[in-house]
Amino acid sequence: MASEDAFKPALLIIDTQNDFCGPDGSMGIPQGRSIAPVVNKLLDLPFFLRVATKDWHPRDHISFASNHSAPDNKPYDSFVTIANPLNGSEKQTTRLWPDHCIQDTPGADIIAEIDQGKLDMVVEKGQDPRVEMYSVFGDPFRNPQVTRSGLAETLKINGVTDCYVCGLATDYCVKSSVLDAAGEGFKVWVIKDGVKGVDTQGCEQAFAEMEKAGAEAIQSDGMEIERVKHWKT
């Protein structure tokens, strides 16, 4: 068991992909591209692991409005109830989206502004067409969970204690990843000036949920980042 003062930090950069950034992304998040300087500043720090995540969807993904029948297939406005393919009694409702981050397309690429040469890992998620997967750790089903990325296991095997999270979007994939990271037992820090979300009200609710789960919201120039600068391996 790690001692109480153990500290080994990892950086999680969530879904900074072309389709989530304007002006050409299929579902650009307002000012999504503007977080790149903050992300690059964080990549310069001596994190034990620097992990980027990517939505990596097949064309028949269940979250795409185009894969559902009219009239209940309007991107952003329509919702679908998904049954756990391993347990039909467990269900979850999710919003339908425009086609985005399709495997092997430019829209799925990490934006060029991010210094990808400093990444240690890229984790692709959302590859199972049957389930939504906002969180980098796994899909939202629990009885049983359908798919896991293996990231939690990688972090634990390497003794990571703290996850510092930035990226897109605050009220969806960032929030879900943060909640799962906290649930896996990591101390979680959400870098407020390193995230952007879909809508203001959703972001406010997301921060409330993340803080209730034990995550702390910080700034990229705060004292919590200073600890990363000076930690010893």
Q: Provide the annotated active-site residues.
A: 15, 125, 173
* CA–CA gap between residue 231 and residue 213 (Å, rounded): 25
Please choose, from the candidates 36, 177, 4, the residue with its C-alpha nearest in 3D space to the C-alpha of residue 116.
36
With vertex at residue 77, the alpha carbon angle to CA 200 and CA 55, rounded to the nearest 5 degrees, is 70
Count of other CB atoms within 10 angstroms of residue 104 = 7
Taking alpha carbons only, the member of 151, 220, 212, 219 closest to residue 12 is: 151
**In this structure, are residues 181 and 153 in contact, taking their beta carbons and an 8 Å threshold?**
no
